Amino acid sequence: MHTAPRRAVTGAALAAAALLLAACSPSADGARPSHVDDVAPLDSVKTQAGRAGRDAPVPQPAALPGVGPRTLAQIPGDADQVVLVTGAGRDATTDRVTLFRRDPAAGWVAAGPAWAAHNADHGWTDEHHTGDLRSPIGVYSLTDAGGRLPDPGTRLTYDHAPIGFTPQGTGVHGQSLKGAFDYVIAINYNRRTGTSPRDWTRPMGESRGGGIWLHVDHGGPTEGCVSLPATAMRTLLRTLDPARHPVVVMGDAASLAR
């Protein structure tokens, strides 16, 4: 009388066990049940976390803005200060000038504001000649300074010559040059370094021009120099340090980007 009920219970138990096994086993096509795939193995999580750490981008030192590889290659390796003069165009007469310092970790960092400036009346050239009214493109060291006014506190050699730095005549378009040479920094283009900016020795010959300076702006284009506000000139004179081998990187934006 009790045999049939026991067989019924046994059959129900077997059916339940079969369902449990089916839920925990691969399906007929070999796929794992979806609820199993939702949980990644612990070892996999660790591996992914480690890979993410290894693949994280490493910050790169900042480059000089707008300066391409060819121009960059001309900057000496020991130069830790750059006066960057970026002209508005090949034939333009206006520029932006910014002083940069090289930080061992951060790269090139702006060391002051961007100043408005002027360059030569006919713009820029890769091969400057006397009278072409163009400023020379390139990278040039800065070692010597001077001016009509006393030394404002520079580490560069400074030639204070109130009469020697008195401008003669007018600017290219008749502007007054009063105060233009209150402060000057010689750009070492076709000149003998270690001498006063008033030294007119021309190692490449007279035809290649010279007397290219950073000097005080007089409100218009120059014959070849780069002119900045008087406050900017004082800042440069007080900041440039021969021990950091300062250079000027100068030219129109398209040329500097090469």
Neighbours of 102 (CB within 10 A): 20
Residue-range domain boundaries for the chain: 3-55, 69-256
pTM value? Answer: 0.78
- In terms of Cβ atoms closer than 10 Å to its own Cβ (0-12, 13-18, 19+), residue 155 is middle
CA atoms within 13 A on the CB side of 10: 5
Residue type present at position 57: P
Residue 50's SS3 state is: helix
* H or E element in which residue 48 lies: helix 42-55
Instruction: Answer positive or negative: Cα dihedral of 70, 76, 81, 87.
Output: negative
Q: Give pLDDT tens digits along the chain (258 positions).
A: 444 444 444 444 434 434 333 333 334 344 444 444 444 444 444 444 445 455 666 677 899 999 999 999 999 999 999 999 999 999 999 999 999 999 999 999 999 999 999 999 999 999 999 999 999 999 999 999 999 999 999 999 999 999 999 999 999 999 999 999 999 999 999 999 999 999 999 999 999 999 999 999 999 999 999 999 999 999 999 999 999 999 999 999 999 999
